Chain A
Amino acid sequence: MTKSIISGGVYLPTLRIKRDEYLSALGSCSAAMREKTVMDIDEDVITMAVAAARDALADLDVSRVGVLTLASTNFPYQEKALAGTLVEALGLDKHVLTSQHGNSTIAGTEALLAALGLLEQTEQQYALVVVSDAPTSGPDVDMEHGFGAAACAFVLAKDEPGLAFEGVYAQSGETMGLRYRLPGETDIRDIGVKAFATLDYNEMVKAAVTGLVSKLNRNLADYRHIVMHQADAKTAAALAKKMGCSDVQTKEGSVFADTGDIGACSSLLGLCRVLESAASGDCLLISSYGSGSGSQALSFRLQAPLKNSGSFQARLEDKKYIGYIQYLKQKRSI
């Protein structure tokens, strides 16, 4: 059975804050985005998830969805099955197989891989993967400066032409002290040694990506687009270059400059962006990363253009800027 992504969906909140706002309010900004997405006061990762899923399911028969997987690092409840909220909001069949992934920014690709597996356990034709994230911390934590918000969704199908899944390769290991959050705490902690964080990112992602291309007997040059996990744009770009990727291969999948750090969504939103221009025959590679740590690299080949690749560009252009004070009010910090 081949399994392919046949449809994509995107949601970006309308509100944006420019990096310049941080510079004029705080005198500095720890993240190198141009601007980032901000959830409105009545939005959370579930409302964004519903919007992205509706985008992906437009024109499809929702009664044929047999699997729903969901990922975020910032669910609104620490305990509660949230797939049910989506089942109701989307009008899905109540017997869908569900799985919920969190606790790390690697959760996005985990949800995609889980859906590929669960699809074999259902008589239905489709699996829906929804990854919605808005990493959160107090405004006095440097890492917070880069935290944005976004959601993306994919419909996987059995034996239908689309973006065919080719394979995965993973790397996991124990790395201590990088981007973690204790139960009940709202702030992200980190030992704050940038060189150590970069070293871990490089080792994990490189092992997953090189392992994948060698498993598939390919070279990185065979890929039209290579989408990296972008907790910050510079580290991702530097590693891609070090591995031998060209700027042309990585440019279109970069979303950090426009959205900031969108956690578990990062490389999957990049995938939505490249799908808007990818052509039949193109090979695409995406890699995720979660601190602590692990990385998963996934390979796809576009057999036929998607019916619906999601509304990335339209969402990107629909925006309204807010100032830093309003941003703090949105976050209920003041």
Chain B
Amino acid sequence: MGAHISIPMYQRAVPQRYRLVGQRCGACGKINFPPKAVCKYCYQGTSFEDVQLSGRGTVYSYTVIAGGGAPPEFAAEARCKGSYPVIIVELAEGPRVIAQMVNPPEEGIAIGMPVKAVFRKIYEEEGVIRYGFKFSPA
């Protein structure tokens, strides 16, 4: 397998992977996603408040992973579709996240296009389904 993530590691991240729970820094007020031990913006804040992110955002950048370029956990998906797009999304609350895009428009992905988070199977390992978020055109 490619970038192996153990079941305990994945499980600890369930709130962020399943429903985009971020954290607001107690020192500077900026929103971190995924959650950090120290705020990535002010490098000082260590206390945070959970915030439910909206799942809405815009495409900041994108690439298309062609069949042979897919890591092993995504190989089945690449074989089925030939290729699949991966995007960097700038969330409405500020943070940028990387994820796959589902149902990309036929005319192609455009920088700045609005997207929304959807709940999908990311991959399966050890017979355990890893659910998480992808983005679809909004």
* Residues 31-55 (chain A) with a chain B CB within 8 angstroms: 40-44, 46-47, 50-51, 54
Contact yes or no, A42 B103, CB < 8 A: no
* Residues 108-138 (chain B) with a chain A CB within 8 angstroms: 118-122, 129, 131, 134
Q: Give A51 to B76 CA distance when docked, in angstroms.
A: 23
Set A42, A77, A89, A320: member contacting B134, Cβ < 8 A: A42
A24 within 8 A of partner (CB): no
Contact yes or no, B119 A51, CB < 8 A: yes
B18 within 8 A of partner (CB): yes
Instruction: Tell me which residues across on chain B come within 8 A of A40, comparing CB atoms.
Output: 102, 120
Instruction: Tell me which residues across on chain B come within 8 A of A41, comparing CB atoms.
Output: 76-77, 80-81
Q: Give A77 to B131 CA distance when docked, in angstroms.
A: 13
Instruction: Tell me which residues across on chain A come within 8 A of B118, comparing CB atoms.
Output: 47, 51
Contact yes or no, A42 B77, CB < 8 A: yes
* Residues 1-26 (chain B) with a chain A CB within 8 angstroms: 14-15, 18-19, 21
Instruction: Tell me which residues across on chain B come within 8 A of A54, comparing CB atoms.
Output: 119
Set B15, B18, B102: member contacting A42, Cβ < 8 A: B102
Q: Give A155 to B18 CA distance when docked, in angstroms.
A: 21
Count CB-based A-B contacts (< 8 Å).
51
* A85-B131, A91-B52 as given contacts; A44 in contact with B121, CB under 8 Å: yes
Q: Give A91 to B51 CA distance when docked, in angstroms.
A: 12
Contact yes or no, A44 B15, CB < 8 A: no
Contact yes or no, A47 B121, CB < 8 A: yes
A316: min CB distance to chain B, Å: 15
Instruction: Tell me which residues across on chain B come within 8 A of A85, comparing CB atoms.
Output: 18, 131
* Residues 163-178 (chain A) with a chain B CB within 8 angstroms: none
A60 within 8 A of partner (CB): no
Contact yes or no, A47 B131, CB < 8 A: yes
Give the A-binding residues of B (Cβ under 8 A).
Answer: 14-15, 18-19, 21, 52, 76-77, 79-81, 100, 102-103, 118-122, 129, 131, 134
